[in-house]
Structure 1
Amino acid sequence: MKRFYIIGFGLLLLFDTIGQTSFKFTAIDAQPLEFTWQWIERVFTNHWVYTAILGYIGAFFTWMTLLKKAPVGPAFAAAHMEVITVMIASVWLFNEEITPSKLIGATLIVSGILFLAIAEKNITSGVSH
């Protein structure tokens, strides 16, 4: 079961990260932002928008599979690790900086996930405080 979660959440993060970064590539390539038919054409003739859609379809099916077995609270929290994977990918792909506030935010996300996982483990093992 542990392998299922590791592979499942790894795939979820991969698909989410692909989706988010592909949307950013689409936005960059479709500039300037203007509400015209030419802009819509630039968006929908860009391969990145379709990569983003595929990423979100993959994330949706992975998420639905995970929810069949994973406890909702920790699963929902773990799914938010995408914020961290997208931040890391953005450094590499878009030359964005990791600022102190981003590091603090990432630390808080990971801490929250760990606390929820510990709480879920205590609940399922019958430990109470």
Structure 2
Amino acid sequence: MKRFYLIGFALLMGFDTLTQISFKLAGNHALPVEANLAWLLRLFGEPWVYGAVLGYLGAFFTWMSLLKHAPIGPAFAASHLEVISVMALSVWLFHEPLTAAKLLGATAILAGIVCLGLAEREAAPHDSPGGA
């Protein structure tokens, strides 16, 4: 089951990251933003828009599969790992600054996932059938 979680959350993070990076790339290529049909046609002419759609679909089906088996607290927290991967890729691809606040936020996300995972592990033995 541990392998299922690792593969599942890696896939979820990959799909979510693909979605966010694809939106950024599509938006950058469709500049300037204008409220007209020409801009929409330019935007939907970008292949990155379809990468975002593919990412959303992949994330949806991966998330639904994970929710069948994973405890909701740690699963919900782990589903936000893409914030860290998108931040890292944005520094590399878009030359966005890596600030102390961003690193602190990434650390808080990781700490929250670890705390929820540990709490779930501690609660699991008490929830067994016939147990006290």
Name the structure 2 match of 1:69: 69
Alignment of structure 1 residues 9-88 onto 2, 5 Å: 9-88=9-88
Q: State the one-letter code of the partner of 2:27.
A: A
Partner Cα distance (2:120, 2:61) in 1 = 24
Residue identity over aligned pairs, in percent, reads 57
Post-superposition shift, 1:9?
0.2
Partner Cα distance (1:38, 1:116) in 2 = 47
**Secondary structure, counterpart of 1:38 in structure 2:** helix
Long gaps (5+) in structure 2: 128-132
Partner Cα distance (1:125, 1:91) in 2 = 42
Number of residue pairs matched by the alignment: 127
The alignment's TM-score, normalised by the length of structure 1, stands at 0.96
Displaced runs of 4+ in structure 1, greater than 4 A?
none
What do the CA deviations read for 1:32-66 (whole angstroms, capped 9, x no partner)?
11101111001111100001100110011000000
Partner Cα distance (2:97, 2:10) in 1 = 24
Name the structure 1 match of 2:125: 125
Name the structure 2 match of 1:105: 105
Partner Cα distance (1:90, 1:112) in 2 = 23
Partner Cα distance (1:8, 1:122) in 2 = 22
Long gaps (5+) in structure 1: none
The alignment's TM-score, normalised by the length of structure 2, stands at 0.93
Post-superposition shift, 1:115?
0.6
Post-superposition shift, 1:25?
0.3
